[in-house]
Structure 1
Amino acid sequence: MATNKKKILITESFSQTGRALLGERDDIEMVEFPNMISAGDFQAMLMQQAPVHGVALGPTRFGEPELEASRDMKVVTRIGVGYDAVDVPALSRRKVPLMTAGTANSPSVAEQALFMMLWLAKRAAEMHAIVRDGSWGYRLGKLPYDLYGKTLLIVGFGRIGTRTAKRCLAMEMQVLVYDPYKSAEEIKAAGCEPVADLDAALPRADFVSIHCPKTPETVGLFNAARLSLMKPAAYLINTARGGIVDEKALHQALLSGKLAGAGLDVFEQEPPPVGHELHSLPNVIMAPHVAGVTREAVDRMSEQTARNILSALDGAPIRQNVINQDVL
């Protein structure tokens, strides 16, 4: 009977693969909501649809007010791996698991990080403009760079950082890793060099790729002082979270020639305001927080999210995908 169904709110970006898995169950009712819904509208929808037993979130914030509005929340899931928009302690207080999509989008983010390194090193925009504008004779004045033989510093050696390392090792780069939560043995086993001091490692790097979560510890990690330790010929890539890099300090470093370039998929404010000071710099490549949102990744993440929801509703949440393990 309909009264026995579990109501699941899913964002409109949820793929057909995930919907099909949930749709196979006659005890599940799916209700769609806009991917960029406001906090107020989302709370109102939860109250209107209550009781709501599960949510599959995109970027929507979720915390105590949403838990209260839903009345009987059993599981909160992210169609992705980041969860800085979710109030984890609030969920833990109510014994509600927060689950993420595990490794579903990590290959995609690693590819984006490598793509941004290659775009910047190969001076892709400038090369394109030389051909387009008939400036062929100037091509030797804007020589690109090889990744071969260069040193990459990876900050954060989780699911994405490890995959980025694997791809860059295949490019015959030397890979340094800074992650205070990983053992030196694990990093060495992956063919990389562990570094214990971030500040000491930065001057060695030709490329720095950020893959750590956004936490109180990492907000502002790359401030003016830290950026000043990088080589003037180095490139900074951030496909992790906005706020880990101080954008004003980055703009100044790029403008003054203290840093060669940057690749940014994430920003302090998303979307960043039109006319943001970084937009006009020729040595910056940007993307709208889509590194982990390829066609294939959305299918993988939606499928994993659906499996996460079902596992929690069936009383056996997939343990490795639960962030707040204290609820298990």
Structure 2
Amino acid sequence: MSDFPSPPVPDADARELGVGGSVWFQAGAQMLGGAARIALLAAIRETGSITGAAKAVGMSYKGAWDTIDAMNNLAGETLVERAAGGKGGGGTTLTPRALRLIDTYRAIEREHRRFLERAAQAVSELGGALEGASGDLAVLGRFGLRTSARNQLYGAITALVRGAVNDEVSIALPGGQTLAAIVTRESAESLGLAVGADVVALVKASSVLLVAGGADGEAARLSTRNRLSGTVSALRRGEVNAEVTLALPGGVVIAAIVTEASVDALGLEVGVAATAAFKASSVLLGVAG
């Protein structure tokens, strides 16, 4: 394992305003993939093998096959086929549909690049008229994320500990608290996770435990890696369960679904201090593009 140093998290409003974007294929509501997956297909076309293609794009062999399986499933047809071994050995080939996808993507990408060049020129000409807008654009971009997870927490990676199977990711939240996530090595590589990168952490409300008081009280005795302290800002009671929302420092909020009996036992009500606790393995990570 290796531990990376923790750089300061940049202020989004202080970053220089620029124009960027990415191209991806979508079939209905299903995302087929973007640059990384197309690059893998192109590498297979060039090398004729999964081993060579995975090395060319910086993936593990297993990660490459996992990506291929996902593409085949999402496309609804085979894109990559294993060639039977013979005198010269086996190999990997792309189907005609996969070859067309590469060419189509490259054509769209060229047009997209021209569009970005024109947009960048327009932004440059506007100059001071867009001063301070970079942070707004970043936030608007994150609004496009759609997920069933109740909690969507934005932050920047401050540390990344590599493991043989899983990686541990530390994320600085806007209010100064830190969130930990455990993801597979293949997932970290596929997402391009690195120190300083912005990520969205997804946590189901049903995965969040609540403890009365701050993180240095009873919550400190829990085995859960994540303990985020705040105050109850909303409480919606039902016949069996209740939804409790905590306001954390920096304007962050996190919701938990707990039983009505737990609400009463903990004495939870609006304004009361409480801590949200959940395992690092309960956190899913997402990145833009």
Normalising by the smaller structure, the TM-score range is under 0.3
Instruction: Choose 1 or 2 for highest CA Rg.
Output: 2
Higher strand fraction (1 or 2): 2
TM-score, length basis structure 2: 0.22
TM-score, length basis structure 1: 0.20
